Amino acid sequence: MIIGTGVDAALLEAATNLRFVQKLGAGLDNVDPAACRMRNVAVARLQAGNAAQVAEHTLLLMLAALRRLPYFDRQTRAGTWLRTEGRAMQRQLAGKTVGLIGLGAIGREVARRLAGFDVDVVYYDIERPGRDLETKLGVRFCQFEELLSLSDVVSLHVPLTAETRNMLDASRIGMLRPGATIINCARGGLIDEAALRLALERKDVHAAALDTFDVEPLHASSLFERDDVVVTPHVAGATLENFRHVFERGCRNIELFLAGTRLPEGELIIAPAQELQP
């Protein structure tokens, strides 16, 4: 089982007896699929294993960015009482339009949690889940560029692939509604960080809150120096209460694999050459 680390050709060459990799999470962008297939190593993930936890963190960052929470925390601790200045710097979530890029397991949990915040929620996904779910979640589908132009807050909830890398590049960031806030609890490679920094400097973007970065671990960045950026170290899905549940699910998948039983739907991503039968 792996969490945080990746699987590449060098690791597989050294682990000659390895036959199965279980990711304790959903993202597989740090697993080399070609190398796994070449070595006949099966790969599984946990579908929606931390969806609720990431959704909570997304709301946390959304509110923290709009209210400039880390900045006011630092200033207050330092003895600077910015009550008057706060009125001009803080923004509320109520009454805003929130755009969710991706309405998978995490995006849906975010939409559910936004229901009590008096916001309009629009979303874009390459696969629409159906009008019944849209109605249940209180969300409206729109095309990607339309979402960017409509949303006061844009939150990313898609995997990192060749197609989604830098999906928020300079051009797309330029399509954002003036003064928008960007939230990313998905993968760092989804955003062109240099373009984001420039948009913040120009005040085209009000704030950003990032749990993931293009390079991790990241020990220094010009984004860290900005009071309009909230950062956390890729911990959106990491809660003490959920780890035992995730670990037990991973162990169960290993047991199923060794027993020749099919894994839960959507979790076996790379099957062995001779696929195990139930």
User: Residue 274: its pLDDT value, please?
Assistant: 63
Query: Catalytic site residue 187?
Result: yes
Per-residue model confidence (pLDDT) at position 155: 98
The dihedrals phi and psi of 148, each to the nearest 5 degrees, come to -60, -40
Task: Spell out the residues 6+ positions from residue 66 whose beta carbon is closer than 8 angstroms to its own.
Answer: 90, 91, 92, 93, 153, 181, 206, 207
- For 59-105, how does the pLDDT look when each residue is reduced to its tens digit (9 = 90+)? 999 999 999 999 999 999 999 999 999 999 999 999 999 999 999 99
The alpha-helical segments, DSSP class H, found in the chain are 9-14, 33-38, 51-67, 69-77, 83-89, 105-114, 131-137, 144-150, 170-174, 193-201, 240-258
H/E run at residue 260: none
For the question of residue 219 being annotated catalytic, the response is no
Q: Where are the domains of the chain?
A: 9-49+240-270, 51-231
Instruction: Classify 42 in phi/psi space as left (phi over 0), alpha (psi -120 to 50) or beta.
Output: beta
**224 Cβ neighbours under 8 A, 6+ residues apart:** 231
Q: Which tokens go with 181?
A: 């806030």
Quote the pLDDT of residue 29. 85
Question: What CATH number does the domain located at 9-49+240-270 have?
Answer: 3.40.50.720
Class of residue 108 by CB neighbours under 10 A (exposed 0-12, middle 13-18, buried 19+): buried
**Distance (Å, whole) CA 72 – CA 227:** 9
Catalytic residue among 216, 226, 249, 262: 216
Of residues 68, 187, 197, 206, which has the active-site annotation? 187
3-state secondary structure of 156: strand
Measured between its terminal Cα atoms, the distance across the chain in Å is 22
Q: Tell me the β-bridge partners of 247.
A: none
Q: Which of 56, 193, 234, 267 is catalytic?
A: 234
Mean pLDDT by 10 residues, the chain (278 residues): 88 94 88 94 91 97 98 97 94 98 97 97 96 97 98 97 96 97 97 98 98 96 97 94 92 95 93 64
- The CATH class of the 51-231 domain is alpha beta
CA angle 27, 30, 33 (to 5 degrees): 95
Kindly state the tokens that stand for 184: 């990313």
Cα 226-229-235 angle, rounded to 5 deg: 130
244 classed as catalytic: no
Asked if domains 9-49+240-270 and 51-231 share a fold, the reply is: yes
User: How would DSSP label each residue in 26-37?
Assistant: S--TTB-HHHHH
Q: Which amino acid is at 120?
A: D
